[in-house]
Amino acid sequence: MMPRTAIRGGLLLAAVLAGTGARAAAPHAEFAVRWDPRHGGPATPQEALRGLRLKSREQSRFEVQYFDFTPPAALPNGFTPILRKRLSEGRSELSFKLRGSEPLPGTPSLKAWDCPLGATEDRKDEVDLSFVDDGRVVTAYSRSCDLNSRAPDLQPPAALQARPRGCASSVTRLRSGKLKVEEWRMADGSVLLEASRPGRHDTASQRAFEREVLTPLLALQVQPLQRSKSAIGADCTG
């Protein structure tokens, strides 16, 4: 196994910069590391923030559920559609996301994209960079849109023929500045923790996250996971 110190070197940087060609189209990024506390590392978001010598400035709790559904026609090749609902304090948020390993096609633009949830300006293109085992980085490209309601009974459009998967995750989120630390409690009782922070898809942002978040967490015996939150939270077979 490659020593963890390799994350500080050129191999990690080269992996991140492999997506350089997408920067002009998707300059916004989210850097993240996920772990199962049963295998090491902080067991709660509070412990993670203490390990990073940070204090929580905000706390929230919500429930997340995923759907099986009929995807819209003409999705870009190689992209997985994801539909989820988040419930918090009597409010609800529907999110539709396209996620793939290659940059999105140039057309339609984000503004011209026909969001399957209907008319909404709440949309974004993003590059997700997940720091995983052996000093590797998994890069995913996404486009998403959200629809919000003050009522808990917001439902997906009928055209999607959405069916709840039958399991939900309970999430606790702590914030310290731009850093989010989340605890996901799955329907099967397992727990996932994630530390994430937004930034630009550039070398400076990547190095800052590595230096200020990733390396300290690895020193606390975090064992990074590869699967995304969507993949883990939507898996109802456990």
**Which H, E and C letters describe 21-75, residue by residue?**
HHCCCCCEEEEEEEECHHHCCCCCHHHHHHHCCCCCCEEEEEEEEEEECCCCCCC
| Residue pair 33/137 in contact by the 8 Å Cβ criterion | no
* Domain contains 238: no
pLDDT for the residue 233: 75
CATH code of residue 134: 2.40.320.10
Its domain, for residue 197, covers 4-104+115-233
pLDDT at 158 over 50: yes
* Domain contains 109: no
pLDDT for the residue 238: 57
Q: Is the peptide bond before 42 cis (omega within 30 degrees of 0)?
A: no
pLDDT at 147 over 70: yes
In this prediction the pTM is: 0.84
pLDDT for the residue 237: 63
Per-residue pLDDT averaged across 172-197, rounded?
95
pLDDT for the residue 231: 79
| Residue pair 168/152 in contact by the 8 Å Cβ criterion | no
pLDDT for the residue 149: 94
Query: Would the CA dihedral through 183, 184, 187, 189 be positive or negative?
Result: negative
- To the nearest 5 percent, what fractions of the chain are helix, strand and coil? 25, 40, 40
Q: What SS3 state is found at 238? A: coil
